[in-house]
Structure 1
Amino acid sequence: MSTDPFQPVLLALPSLTPSLALELIPNGLLMHRLFVQADGKTHDLLIGPEDPRDHLKKKYVNVIIGRYANRLPVGEFSLERDGAKGTVKPISNESPTVSLHGGTTGFDYVPWTQLQPSGSKLFSSEEISTISSDLGASSLWTYTSKDGENGFDGTLYTEVLIGLLSPSKPTSIAKEPEYLMGSVVIIYRAKLLDEGKVTPLNLTQHWGFNLTASLKDAAHSVSVKSHQLAMKADKTLELDKNGLSTGKLLDVAGTYHDFRTPRTIGSQWPTVENGPGGYDWYYSFPPTPSTTDHRLAPGTKKNVVKEVLEKKLEGDEAKVELGSETSGVKIVFGSNQSGVQFYTNNYGSTTFPRKKIHGGSGVEGEGEGYGSASAAFLEFHSPLAAWLHPDTVRDGFDTLIAGNGEVYNNWVKADVYYKTPSGDVQQV
């Protein structure tokens, strides 16, 4: 196994046409490419640079986020859960009063170690068997966060399963109006190793999607405003001027936040004075049976992996749908998390290297990077600073994990569909 933290690790579904493949980078557990091959075309659905090391030039593009996703207020806060006590001292990095995505050296900043499934400490033997038998391709990764790292109490041991699931009934695109090409599955597990301590925990993938960037006629703009978006969210989190939670949930009805009926992202584009506009809000879903099992009891034998793989993402379980009539690609997302942060890369960089498959040169400074509205970031996690704002917690999970043997459990499943698009769009 390579010791280079930027050496790609490829996961691919075996012997399938169309096909699905995912390229991972150990540094920051980064999703570098998500390939879809169908109708003789190859799409890369994730924005980013050509060279994996160029991710160091811009943070938070397709990496894991932790210990705590999104924005926390800077300060010192007392914690208590089941008799365990502690403090958290979020470190400022975005501004003097805001700690963003886990602090100055969060989970996105460190190299993760690939782990053999047999060496897992957080997945049961039944789950390991399911991983081996049911996933078309998978890898398991681990990182241990030291006590006090970035102001968080307790030594935290984390494992993340990333896998590709083959469609149950492979068929020909010619016979199906819409073809399920496979699924991306991510399961985050973590355990606090220090008995009597407690920590807030909120893990997610900060991945940015563009379903048309690989098409020649879209390469000059690389915009997601024409993408169709549907979200089950009926409320959004009120934010203060620094992007921190005020502790209130607001109804989306009658506002540009309402995506319960599918529409294009650009159809009600938010505008701001002296800024690019766009979306950067947390959206809250109505609680469903899936928004449970955030904590697994010590020694549980429940096969959560099997439940996730068998989950049908339809009806209330289809939390978010992102699609493009131009490319024919659609992604349906499900998760046990209570909401999603939707961000349209409002402050994207036009000098950040753009992938060649997206019409770029792959070189920094060419003025062809990924600017505002170039991606739909969909980050599934609990509300911002949930333990501080109980009125924003609709599923009972305040994001506190105690050192009593319980295991944090967060999953996301993304079903990738393809249908032959209307019109003949040529590739780069």
Structure 2
Amino acid sequence: MKANQISTGKFVNDKEVIAVELSNTKGTYVKIFNYGTIINKFVVKNAKGEDQDIVLGFDDFDGYISKEYLSNYPYFGSIVGRYANRIKGGEFTIEGTSYQLPKNNGDDCLHGGLQGFDQKVWDIVELTESPNASVTFHYYSFDGEEGFPGDLAVQLQFTLTENDELILTYQADTDEATPINLTHHSYFNLAANSNDIRSHVHQMNASNWLEQDDNYVVTGKLIPVDGTHHDFRKGKTFAEGWDEENGYDQTYVLDKTYGELTLASKTSAVDSGLTLSIYTTEPVAHLYTAKYTDVKNGKDGKSYGKFSAFCVETQHAPNSLNIPAFPSTILQPGEVYHQTTIYKVSK
């Protein structure tokens, strides 16, 4: 097991951007930038014994901060916070006090605001090689950042095991009641030679999905998947019965006991023989098949377009702040926020 850190020679807001490389004895290799904790590479051996990178991104760091990329920003491989997905009207109330966040997606707040955790340089606080290669990042979000109350200290650890598991462990604490709903936004493509994920076979243990308004904001209504193209419980290709124009951009309520670490989804590609299983302690998973992705000059000069990847964003339900019936996403002083998500690759 190895863990190394390498300077990119780049600085953002006077803080150095560092690349951390984690590897195991099987040849699996993960590269993570401390900027946005971006998973830049996730290289595994496919069924043919070939090295295959299963995440979208860029060959070097400059791609992630280019004007062209940020103009149609897809959050490639980054953490999302303080609050994943959309908050209706960018508004919420805690203990009688109302807060207004930036409206950076129509009339709503998306993924933490104008500059969320995805565009911050995190501190590297620990690097270890035994028993597994791991890195721990830390970010301190000050009271009022993007309109959120309270000073919030966040820690995110990535651990690569010998079983080809990349374990993401999140922790946070605050000095004032504040919303928190973190996720990671990696774009996966398991195919060996295709920029399209239509033929990927996807299984998700969810009997309901969450209704959304015209701007994809969760309303609070649960809709059964029975008899619809949203039913992935037995597994099927993404393209089987889907809306060819829109693909998937919905939140699914996982069939699980709240807080337990269980299987959320399993996705496979025939040509590579690779399967990605995602485990989480979180109650929902947002499935997105990259409808709005339009990125030029990605890895090896590739262009990434519509349906070039899929995301499974494990989290609490979007807009929970405004839906009292949903599990609370308010962190109180003295409490510790904790969640775990695991990306396990197998053949």
Q: Distance in 1 between matches of 2:316 and 2:238?
A: 23
* TM-aligned CA deviation for residue 116 of structure 1: 2.3
Runs of 5+ consecutive residues of structure 1 not aligned to the other structure: 118-130, 168-181, 294-310, 312-316, 362-367, 419-428
Residue number in structure 2 paired with 1:26: 34
User: Does the residue aligned with 1:234 lie in a helix, a strand or coil?
Assistant: strand
Residue number in structure 2 paired with 1:51: 60
1:331-410 to 2 correspondence within 5 Å? 331-349=276-294, 351-356=295-300, 361=301, 368-391=302-325, 393=326, 397-403=327-333, 405-410=334-339
Residue number in structure 2 paired with 1:100: 110
Residue number in structure 2 paired with 1:187: 169
User: Does the residue aligned with 1:387 lie in a helix, a strand or coil?
Assistant: helix
Residue number in structure 2 paired with 1:282: 251
Q: Work out whether 1:210 is the aligned partner of 2:200.
A: no
Q: Which of 330, 339, 342 matches 1:413? A: 342
Amino acid of the structure 1 residue aligned with 2:299: K
User: Does the residue aligned with 1:108 lie in a helix, a strand or coil?
Assistant: helix
User: Does the residue aligned with 1:225 lie in a helix, a strand or coil?
Assistant: coil
Aligned residues: 329
Residue number in structure 2 paired with 1:160: 156
User: Does the residue aligned with 2:240 lie in a helix, a strand or coil?
Assistant: helix
Amino acid of the structure 1 residue aligned with 2:120: V
Residue number in structure 1 paired with 2:263: 318
Amino acid of the structure 2 residue aligned with 1:44: D
* TM-aligned CA deviation for residue 265 of structure 1: 0.5
Residue number in structure 2 paired with 1:74: 89
Q: Which of 227, 240, 243 matches 1:254? A: 227
CA-to-partner distance for each residue in 1:282-312, whole Å, 9 max, x for gaps?
0111232xx328xxxxxxxxxxxxxxxxx7x
Residue number in structure 2 paired with 1:35: 43
Query: Cα–Cα, structure 1 residues 75 and 52, in superposed 2: closer, same or farther, change >3 Å?
Result: closer
Q: Work out whether 1:292 is the aligned partner of 2:259.
A: yes
Amino acid of the structure 1 residue aligned with 2:93: S
Identity %: 30
* TM-aligned CA deviation for residue 319 of structure 1: 1.5
Contact 2:79-2:182 at 8 Å conserved across structures: yes
Q: Distance in 2 between matches of 1:201 and 1:87?
A: 16
Q: Which of 197, 204, 217 matches 1:231? A: 204
* TM-aligned CA deviation for residue 133 of structure 1: 4.8
Contact 1:231-1:321 at 8 Å conserved across structures: yes
Amino acid of the structure 1 residue aligned with 2:36: G
Amino acid of the structure 1 residue aligned with 2:186: W
Bigger RCO (CA 8 Å, 6+ sep): 1
Normalized against structure 2, the TM-score is what?
Answer: 0.90
Residue number in structure 2 paired with 1:425: none
Contact 1:87-1:153 at 8 Å conserved across structures: no
Residue number in structure 2 paired with 1:62: 77
Structure having the larger proportion of residues in strand: 2
Structure having the larger proportion of residues in helix: 1
Residue number in structure 1 paired with 2:13: none
Q: Distance in 2 between matches of 1:388 and 1:66?
A: 17
Contact 1:183-1:413 at 8 Å conserved across structures: yes
Normalized against structure 1, the TM-score is what?
Answer: 0.73
Residue number in structure 2 paired with 1:88: 99
Contact 2:284-2:316 at 8 Å conserved across structures: yes
Q: Distance in 1 between matches of 2:241 and 2:133?
A: 39
* TM-aligned CA deviation for residue 387 of structure 1: 2.9
Runs of 5+ consecutive residues of structure 2 not aligned to the other structure: 11-15
* TM-aligned CA deviation for residue 40 of structure 1: 3.3
* TM-aligned CA deviation for residue 87 of structure 1: 4.1
Cα RMSD of the aligned pairs, angstroms, is: 1.9
Contact 1:48-1:353 at 8 Å conserved across structures: no
Residue number in structure 1 paired with 2:241: 268
CA-to-partner distance for each residue in 1:84-137, whole Å, 9 max, x for gaps?
x75432211111x111000001000111110027xxxxxxxxxxxxx8754x21
Residue number in structure 2 paired with 1:306: none
User: Does the residue aligned with 1:230 lie in a helix, a strand or coil?
Assistant: strand
Q: Distance in 1 between matches of 2:187 and 2:141?
A: 25
Q: Distance in 2 between matches of 1:287 and 1:40?
A: 35
Larger Rg: 1
User: Does the residue aligned with 2:250 lie in a helix, a strand or coil?
Assistant: strand
* TM-aligned CA deviation for residue 254 of structure 1: 0.9
User: Does the residue aligned with 1:55 lie in a helix, a strand or coil?
Assistant: helix
Residue number in structure 2 paired with 1:364: none
Residue number in structure 1 paired with 2:145: 149
Q: Distance in 2 between matches of 1:86 and 1:208?
A: 37
Query: Cα–Cα, structure 1 residues 226 and 6, in superposed 2: closer, same or farther, change >3 Å?
Result: farther
Amino acid of the structure 1 residue aligned with 2:283: S
Amino acid of the structure 1 residue aligned with 2:335: E
Contact 2:87-2:321 at 8 Å conserved across structures: no
